[in-house]
């Protein structure tokens, strides 16, 4: 299980950050649990995500290269080298250069979707950022082609004023008395199995291990404000209604160096008037004329990538269905598109001129029917098909 992070991403040990990001994006699409049918997809996804997190962080990568895989993982499990229990002196400046400046952005607004985050409130002791969730609607055409969507989202962000510390830089910070700076307290709980000692986040300092003299006025000590983020997401061709895209690290900020959460985007696809979708297959109805049904014809059928020709054989019945191979939706993880099913619907004409009526009357009579064009003609015509 302890596959080297470089191997996990399939990059060389001297890969640039860009190469790593690129390899990650590629693998992420492959193993995304919402997309992959590999039973181990989730595990693999977590793994490459972890690999990317470590290898795109200079400090962590250096440590990783120095320590080797197993030692690194152990060190991390112990709460290791990076942000250990924050005693006085504070944690090292974590890798959060990305505290995006606020400001207004263009793009279609998704709106204020993260209220609940603020409701929940809470500064924390180096907790990883929460995953956030939003919705996005796309057209079937966009699902067919794949698309890049820009959107804005109101989301929590690290407070610019205090860089997420929760207090002004120059303010005295005292070691928390309740936990002596450990950020955690021991609790003894009575359980059916006996007394169990547990550690819990210190309620006094919320796990920070320290209490500032004065809190940041902008964020009220939470270290979090909110921003209108302008984001761009790639929507893969073949995505299905109800699937979820994940934007790595675009969720709520983690506490001081802890990883940021992800942004999950639930994608819905507008229903189309023309197409019924069934997985990667599409169904449409095409009107054909009575003569086309009788004599056969080649018709042009609109589909999502232009037009295709379809041969209607002579003697086609209304309701008969024809399959156009590989003209359906792309599959997320396959090479072949699905199929396009075309149901022919013979249209009964209701605007015949005199000559046409006469011809049809002769047609009916030749078949041994008595038809009076003036009375109930169209109902009878309907019965013919
Ligand atoms: Zn405390
Ligand atoms: Zn602040």
CATH 3.90.730.10 fits 276-384, yes or no: no
289 pLDDT above the threshold of 90? yes
Ligand nearest to the CA of 203: 1
Q: How confident is the model at residue 103 (pLDDT cuts 50, 70, 90)?
A: very low
Ligand nearest to the CA of 181: 1
179-197 pLDDT tens trace = 999 989 988 878 777 888 8
Q: Is 70 helix (H, G, I), strand (E, B) or coil?
A: helix
In terms of Cα–Cα distance, which of 153, 205, 211, 212 is closest to 183?
A: 205
233 pLDDT above the threshold of 90? yes
Q: Is 308 helix (H, G, I), strand (E, B) or coil?
A: strand
Q: Is 131 helix (H, G, I), strand (E, B) or coil?
A: coil
User: Higher-confidence residue: 5 or 28?
Assistant: 5
Share of the chain above pLDDT 90, in %: 41
The mean pLDDT value for 26-46 works out to 73
Q: Is 89 helix (H, G, I), strand (E, B) or coil?
A: coil
Ligand nearest to the CA of 159: 2
CATH 2.10.230.10 fits 87-269, yes or no: yes
- Cα(121) to centroid of ligand 1, in Å? 18
**The predicted structure's pLDDT at residue 105:** 28
For the chain, give every residue range classified as CATH 1.10.287.110. Answer: 1-82
For the chain, give every residue range classified as CATH 2.10.230.10. Answer: 87-269
- Cα(169) to centroid of ligand 1, in Å? 20
61-102 pLDDT tens trace = 888 888 888 888 877 766 544 333 333 333 332 222 222 322
Per CATH, which fold does 1-82 belong to? Helix Hairpins (1.10.287)
For the chain, give every residue range classified as CATH 2.60.260.20. Answer: 276-384
Ligand nearest to the CA of 168: 2
Please provide the average confidence, as pLDDT, over all residues in the chain: 80
Neighbours of 304 (CB within 10 A): 21
Give pTM, 2 decimals. 0.57
């Amino acid at each position: 299980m302890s596959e080297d992070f470089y191997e996990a991403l399939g990059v060389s040990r001297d890969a640039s950050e860009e190469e790593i990001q690129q390899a990650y994006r590629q693998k992420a699409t492959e193993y995304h649990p919402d997309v992959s049918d590999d039973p181990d997809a989730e595990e693999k996804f977590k793994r490459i995500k972890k690999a990317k997190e470590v290898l795109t962080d200079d400090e962590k990568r250096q440590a990783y290269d120095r320590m080797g895989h197993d030692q690194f993982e152990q060190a991390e499990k112990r709460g290791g080298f990076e942000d250990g229990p924050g005693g006085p002196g504070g944690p090292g400046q974590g890798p959060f250069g990305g505290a995006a400046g606020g400001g207004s952005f263009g793009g279609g607004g998704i709106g204020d979707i993260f209220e609940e985050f603020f409701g929940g409130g809470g500064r924390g002791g180096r907790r990883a950022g929460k995953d956030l969730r939003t919705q996005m609607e796309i057209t079937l055409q966009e699902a067919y082609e794949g698309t890049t969507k820009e959107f804005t989202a109101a989301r929590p962000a690290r407070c610019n004023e205090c860089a997420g510390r929760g207090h002004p830089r120059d303010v005295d910070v005292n070691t928390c008395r309740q936990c002596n700076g450990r950020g955690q307290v021991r609790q003894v709980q009575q359980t059916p199995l006996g007394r169990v000692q547990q550690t819990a986040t210190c309620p006094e300092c919320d796990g920070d291990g320290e209490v500032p003299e004065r809190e940041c006025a902008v964020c009220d000590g939470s270290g979090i404000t909110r921003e209108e983020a302008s984001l761009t997401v790639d929507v893969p061709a073949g995505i299905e209604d109800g699937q979820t895209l994940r934007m790595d690290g675009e969720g709520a900020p983690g506490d001081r160096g802890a990883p940021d959460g992800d942004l999950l985007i639930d994608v819905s696809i507008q229903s189309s008037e023309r197409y019924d979708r069934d997985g990667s297959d599409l169904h449409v109805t095409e009107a054909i004329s009575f003569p086309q049904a009788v004599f056969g014809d080649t018709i042009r059928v609109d589909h999502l990538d232009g037009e295709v020709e379809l041969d209607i054989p002579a003697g086609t019945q209304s309701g008969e269905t024809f399959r156009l191979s590989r003209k359906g939706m792309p599959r997320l993880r396959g090479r072949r598109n699905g199929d396009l099913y075309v149901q022919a619907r013979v249209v009964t004409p209701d605007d015949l001129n005199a000559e046409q009526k006469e011809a049809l009357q002769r047609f009916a009579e030749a078949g041994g029917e008595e038809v009076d064009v003036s009375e109930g003609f169209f109902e009878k015509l309907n019965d013919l098909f």
